[in-house]
A and B are shown apart, each in its own frame.
Chain A
Amino acid sequence: MEQNQTNLLQGTLDLLILKAIGDGEFHGLGISRRIEQITQGTFQVKPGSLFPALHRMEEAGWLSSSWGESENKRRAKFYCRTRAGERQLGIETQEWETIARAIGNALKAT
């Protein structure tokens, strides 16, 4: 599991973030924990990758953010998915499935 933390496949981080946020609203740590949860702990996203990705996706218009209060009564920045983000999730899911199928077929081939 230690190695897997860094071996997050290039390009899958956006997909995971968009999927993890779903229709909810999360702050950074929340998204990080949610990714761990939905991948059953296979992927741990480090803040050094997570925050640049979040800011980049916000600039791209896939996420929007607002300041609010966390469960521990602290000020925190919350992210939620925009409609463009939803579309992007669709696109990236499809791409991923294509790749996954191709790789699967390649491995099955003799």
Chain B
Amino acid sequence: MKLWRRIRTAASNLLHKDKLESDLDAEIREFADAVADEKINVGMDPSEARRIALAEIGGVEQVKQAVRESRSGANVELLWQDVRYGMRILRRNPSFTWAAVITLGLGIGATTSIFSAVYSLVLRPLPYAKSDQLVSVTAQSPKFQLDVLVSPDFVAAQHALKSFSQLAGYWWANRNMTGSSDPVRIVFAGVTANFLPMLGVKPQLGRSFSDSEDRPGGPSVIILSNRFWQSQFGADPKVIGKSVAIDGREETVIGVMPRSFSFPNYGLEPDVYAPADIDRATSLSVNRGVMGIFTIGRLLSDISREQAQVELQTFLEARARTYPPAFGPLFNGRRAMVESLRRHLTGDDRQPLWILLAAVAGVLLIACSNVANLQLARALSSRHETAVRGALGASRIRLIRKSLVESLIVSLLAATIGIAIALLVTALIHNAGMSSKASTITYAGESFQLPSGKLSTLIQVNGWVVAFTVGLALLVALLSGLAPAVSSGRTDLRNALQTAAFRITSSREQRFLRHLLLVLQIGLAVMLLAAAGLLVRSFVNVLHYDSGFDPNNTLTAKALLTGNRYHLPELRRNFARNLLPRLGAIPGVKAAALASALPLAQVDGDAISFSDNPNPPVGLREIMPTISVTSDYFRAVGTPLFKGRAFDNRDTAASVRVAIVNRAFARQFFAGDALGRHFNIGQSDNGQFRFLPTTIVGIAENVRHNGLSEKVQPEVYVPMDQIPSEEVDFILRTSTDPASFAKAMRKAVIAVDHEQPLFDVETMNERLSDLVAQRKLLMLLIASFAMLAMILAAVGVFGVFAYSVSQRTQEMGIRLALGTSRSRLLRLIVTQAAGLIFVGGAVGIGAALLLSKLLVSTLVGVTPHDTLSFSLAWVLMTLIALLASMIPAVNAARTDLISVLRQE
């Protein structure tokens, strides 16, 4: 039969059911009468004839049922019956329904939330044209862990590499913009002319850069980001052609990026785009500066990443042979990397997501087994009903289906709650992402405020996530419904009917199933608790890390001394010289200082050498993190000076070069005895790059940089006057709440330079909590999942034993009647529970040992099989579970002998 016809008949059957039924009834009755008439006609007694006719037919109702089942749409109708029946059952047991729906809803909600994150960050296609062909291209040498190609290599590669249809590049810098309203600090990106076309992006207003604009000395044209256009230009549609001053240079706006555009770098979202203006020379020379170019390529459709990587490697090795000998050591052992752009975009930090997904899967499994246990218990109490249905002719399949339909309804209700929870959670994550100073996001260290940087703002619930949830609900229905369904379908009818009148203990098989599920739950909960313990301990360790400075009562901020107002070192020195007295004069400020980097922040390296040659070969140079600081720096950040002195006004540009080194430096290069010793720092001296001898005048406590969990590196501090930096960080040590000094600090800066924007004004403690935000989020999530798992498992223990006690009331009564004491009854139940809880705990510890392998990279200061976390998890779960089993046990012990005996 044609499908369409079938659907039509099925629909019409369902619609005209009453008429169909009455016709059917009339037809079969008429048939029975006609058979009877035949028999009467041959002389049979009429009532006898009717009886025999009915017997021959085999029952009017049976025939009618056979016809009904042969109709199109019969299955739909049966299903509908099951659904209605299921709803009725669920309405009649509200406590079961709510317990099941809420349990599963929490599990599904947690899983959906985490899946939304996984989908948005890992699975969703990138928002660029044919994004699967896009790759990031880098070359990493053992000496430089950089994600860039040097500009001569980039230019040469654009023509030489055959694996790519295009290579595009960008660089970025912090700049100051004046001219629109208040001076602002902006993230400025130089992109090659083919960059936007390669990504398939067109400006929403104006145009892209042309090839002729992308050259050194080319026209000053810029494209604004949508966000910047809105915040600084009030979304002015006539912005094209206007000009603004960036670091003192007039730039003409030629376009505005589309709203949906997201820059393909996880830590960077530029405010302003300009042509990259890369020098077209392909040779590397000591006399010419090079730029680091972040490179993105589009692979030809028939080329794999591996092939491209091989070609790039060959290319780089050939290039290295053309370098002047001085560069050799810098680029030796360089390794080509062609990675999918997604990795470049979402960063390496995906492991937390997988850990979270594993954790929620655990919670979901517990929720499922809880509901399965509830269902099993209910299946047992409705065994009599099931048996009666079986006796009346319901097939086994029909009984299993009834039970599955019931769990399906529960799961779908739970999925609704789950999606609501997920919407809530993603809205929270989204808001957290938006409020996190999105306008001043900078690179590396500071972009880790949120898991996966700016991308957390992209996390959302969409069609795929909803599909995932519905799929999950179906799976959950199957998981939690199958065990009870099969077990009820297997009921031995006769046995059930005979014994249904009595309340007997459950069959051995069912009890085993329920206990197995219980052990599984406790195991999963112990596993999650142990993982949470490891993360909490790591977090505490990170917070209590000896960071080498005092974050309390400290206000910090940043400014950039760039552009032609500060192009000379002397101009930058003046800024500091004029500003510091004003900062120090603010009432309540104990110490004020400027530095090129704050504690925990990213530090740039300078070249140093221990040989006396003013221009040592590259191989004798070391790249050493170097921080320029003003004299009060160590007092302001609260880092103890260990030996020697702080910088003071003796240390000027004209005086002998001095440095303070940290303990790690002193130990590594001078066996701890560094005071008064010399080394050389490479710097510009009267327009020439030379290595100047420097005396160590002090040794400072080690301070962590590049985040909280990085190892302490040897580091060098130099006077700001001797090496004035372009990026300056402000540090104020205050006597009261540091946040209240922000206004006075801004005022002091404007008094010195009214065009100078001050940004990232934050207390040191805020910076600290930003740094640990991701770790904290992961810890809090895992800890809450573990708590949830523990509570669900406890509910599971309670449910199983409450049920088994209610089934054994009679047994308890008899035991009491035979003289057992009540405390022995209590012990009977608790001992049984304790056995299961013990086994569950052991299983959990085993599973935790496996899970902790996943966690290794996130652990700080604890081993992955930390005894304290593991034993605490076990003890905690055991206590809670025992407590949960006590309640039904006490009830059992309170069994009222008289009422039990009367019941029968």
Interface residues of A (CB under 8 A from B): 27-29, 46-49, 51-53, 55-56, 59-61, 70, 72, 74-77
Q: Which of B1-40 contact A (CB under 8 A)?
A: 1, 5, 9, 13, 23-24, 26-28, 30-31, 33-35, 37-38
Q: Which residue in chain B gives the minimum CB-CB distance to A61?
A: B5
- Give Cα A100 to B1, complex, Å: 25
- Give Cα A52 to B5, complex, Å: 18
Residues of B within 8 A of A56 (CB): 70-71
Whether the pair B27, A77 counts as a contact (CB closer than 8 A) is yes
Asked, given contacts A47-B58, A55-B71, whether A74 binds B31 with beta carbons under 8 Å apart, the answer is no
Given contacts A47-B63, A75-B30, 14 further A-B contacts (CB under 8 A): A27-B31, A46-B57, A47-B31, A47-B57, A48-B57, A48-B66, A51-B67, A53-B70, A55-B67, A55-B71, A61-B1, A61-B5, A77-B26, A77-B27
- Give Cα A29 to B23, complex, Å: 16
Q: Which residue in chain A gives the minimum CB-CB distance to B41?
A: A72
Whether the pair A59, B71 counts as a contact (CB closer than 8 A) is yes
Residues of B within 8 A of A48 (CB): 57-58, 62-63, 66
Q: What's the least CB distance linking A56 to chain B, in Å? A: 5
Whether the pair A29, B67 counts as a contact (CB closer than 8 A) is no
Asked, given contacts A59-B71, A72-B37, A77-B23, whether A51 binds B28 with beta carbons under 8 Å apart, the answer is yes
Q: What's the least CB distance linking B127 to chain A, in Å? A: 52
B385 within 8 A of A: no
Whether the pair A27, B67 counts as a contact (CB closer than 8 A) is no
- Give Cα A55 to B65, complex, Å: 12
Whether the pair B58, A46 counts as a contact (CB closer than 8 A) is yes
- Give Cα A49 to B69, complex, Å: 12
Residues of B within 8 A of A47 (CB): 28, 31, 57-58, 63
Q: What's the least CB distance linking A82 to chain B, in Å? A: 13
Write 23 A-B pairs (CB below 8 A) sorted by A numbering: A27-B30, A27-B34, A29-B31, A29-B35, A47-B58, A47-B63, A48-B57, A49-B66, A51-B31, A51-B66, A51-B67, A53-B70, A55-B67, A56-B71, A59-B9, A59-B72, A60-B1, A61-B1, A70-B30, A75-B26, A75-B30, A76-B27, A77-B27
Asked, given contacts A56-B70, A60-B1, A61-B5, whether A76 binds B62 with beta carbons under 8 Å apart, the answer is no
Whether the pair B34, A29 counts as a contact (CB closer than 8 A) is yes
Whether the pair A28, B27 counts as a contact (CB closer than 8 A) is yes
Instruction: Tell which of A49, A55, A74 has the most Cβ of chain B within 10 Å.
Output: A55
Residues of B within 8 A of A52 (CB): 66-67, 69-70
Residues of A within 8 A of B72 (CB): 59
Counting from the closest, the 7 A-B pairs by CB-CB distance are: A52-B70, A29-B34, A77-B27, A52-B66, A28-B31, A56-B70, A51-B67
- Give Cα A46 to B72, complex, Å: 22
- Give Cα A55 to B24, complex, Å: 10
Q: What's the least CB distance linking A32 to chain B, in Å? A: 9
- Give Cα A70 to B31, complex, Å: 11
Q: Which residue in chain B gives the minimum CB-CB distance to A51?
A: B67
Q: What's the least CB distance linking B71 to chain A, in Å? A: 6
Dominant secondary structure at the B interface: helix
Q: Which of B802-823 contact A (CB under 8 A)?
A: none
- Give Cα A46 to B28, complex, Å: 12
Q: What's the least CB distance linking A88 to chain B, in Å? A: 11
Q: Please, what's the 1-or-0 string for B324-368, where 1 marks a CB less than 8 Å from any CB in chain A?
A: 000000000000000000000000000000000000000000000
Residues of B within 8 A of A27 (CB): 30-31, 34
Q: Which residue in chain B gives the minimum CB-CB distance to A46?
A: B58
- Give Cα A60 to B8, complex, Å: 11
- Give Cα A86 to B67, complex, Å: 23
Residues of B within 8 A of A72 (CB): 34, 37
Q: What's the least CB distance linking A110 to chain B, in Å? A: 42
Whether the pair A76, B66 counts as a contact (CB closer than 8 A) is no
Q: Which of B36-64 contact A (CB under 8 A)?
A: 37-38, 57-58, 62-63
- Give Cα A93 to B106, complex, Å: 61
Asked, given contacts A59-B9, A61-B5, whether A51 binds B34 with beta carbons under 8 Å apart, the answer is no
- Give Cα A29 to B28, complex, Å: 10
- Give Cα A77 to B71, complex, Å: 17
Q: Which residue in chain B gives the minimum CB-CB distance to A33?
A: B38
- Give Cα A51 to B26, complex, Å: 13
Q: Which of B744-766 contact A (CB under 8 A)?
A: none
Instruction: Tell which of A46, A48, A53, A75 has the most Cβ of chain B within 10 Å.
Output: A48
Q: Please, what's the 1-or-0 string for B266-278, where 1 marks a CB less than 8 Å from any CB in chain A?
A: 0000000000000
Whether the pair A76, B34 counts as a contact (CB closer than 8 A) is yes
Residues of A within 8 A of B67 (CB): 51-52, 55
Q: Which residue in chain A gives the minimum CB-CB distance to B57?
A: A47
Q: What's the least CB distance linking B307 to chain A, in Å? A: 58
Q: What's the least CB distance linking B623 to chain A, in Å? A: 84
Q: Which of B425-469 contact A (CB under 8 A)?
A: none
Q: What's the least CB distance linking B553 to chain A, in Å? A: 86
Instruction: Tell which of A47, A56, A70, A76 has the most Cβ of chain B within 10 Å.
Output: A47
- Give Cα A46 to B69, complex, Å: 16
Q: What's the least CB distance linking A35 to chain B, in Å? A: 14
Q: What's the least CB distance linking A21 to chain B, in Å? A: 16
Q: Which residue in chain B gives the minimum CB-CB distance to A28?
A: B31
- Give Cα A24 to B378, complex, Å: 57
Whether the pair A74, B30 counts as a contact (CB closer than 8 A) is yes
- Give Cα A60 to B26, complex, Å: 22
- Give Cα A70 to B34, complex, Å: 9
Residues of A within 8 A of B13 (CB): 59
Q: Which residue in chain A gives the minimum CB-CB distance to B30?
A: A76
Residues of B within 8 A of A76 (CB): 27, 30, 34
Q: What's the least CB distance linking B205 to chain A, in Å? A: 63
- Give Cα A74 to B37, complex, Å: 11
Residues of A within 8 A of B38 (CB): 29
Q: Which residue in chain A gives the minimum CB-CB distance to B6?
A: A59
Residues of B within 8 A of A75 (CB): 26, 30
Q: Which residue in chain B gives the minimum CB-CB distance to A44?
A: B56
- Give Cα A77 to B5, complex, Å: 23
- Give Cα A7 to B618, complex, Å: 98
Residues of B within 8 A of A46 (CB): 57-58
Q: What's the least CB distance linking A26 to chain B, in Å? A: 12
- Give Cα A86 to B476, complex, Å: 50
Q: What's the least CB distance linking B198 to chain A, in Å? A: 60
Asked, given contacts A59-B9, A70-B34, A74-B33, whether A51 binds B71 with beta carbons under 8 Å apart, the answer is no
Instruction: Tell which of A46, A52, A60 has the most Cβ of chain B within 10 Å.
Output: A52
- Give Cα A59 to B8, complex, Å: 10
Instruction: Tell which of B13, B30, B57, B62 has the most Cβ of chain A within 10 Å.
Output: B30
- Give Cα A74 to B5, complex, Å: 33
Residues of A within 8 A of B69 (CB): 52
Residues of A within 8 A of B71 (CB): 55-56, 59
Whether the pair B30, A77 counts as a contact (CB closer than 8 A) is yes
Q: What's the least CB distance linking A18 to chain B, in Å? A: 15
- Give Cα A74 to B32, complex, Å: 12
- Give Cα A59 to B63, complex, Å: 18
- Give Cα A76 to B30, complex, Å: 7
Whether the pair A51, B63 counts as a contact (CB closer than 8 A) is yes
- Give Cα A48 to B64, complex, Å: 8
Q: Please, what's the 1-or-0 string for B66-95, where 1 marks a CB less than 8 Å from any CB in chain A?
A: 110111100000000000000000000000
Q: Which residue in chain B gives the minimum CB-CB distance to A52?
A: B70
- Give Cα A61 to B6, complex, Å: 11
Q: Which residue in chain A gives the minimum CB-CB distance to B26?
A: A75
Instruction: Tell which of B23, B34, B71 has the most Cβ of chain A within 10 Å.
Output: B34
Q: What's the least CB distance linking B4 to chain A, in Å? A: 12
Cross-interface CB contact of B27 among A51, A59, A61, cutoff 8 Å: A51
- Give Cα A74 to B26, complex, Å: 11
- Give Cα A59 to B70, complex, Å: 10
Residues of B within 8 A of A51 (CB): 27-28, 31, 63, 66-67
Residues of B within 8 A of A28 (CB): 27, 30-31
Residues of A within 8 A of B34 (CB): 27, 29, 70, 72, 74, 76
- Give Cα A75 to B29, complex, Å: 10
Residues of A within 8 A of B63 (CB): 47-48, 51
Q: What's the least CB distance linking B32 to chain A, in Å? A: 8
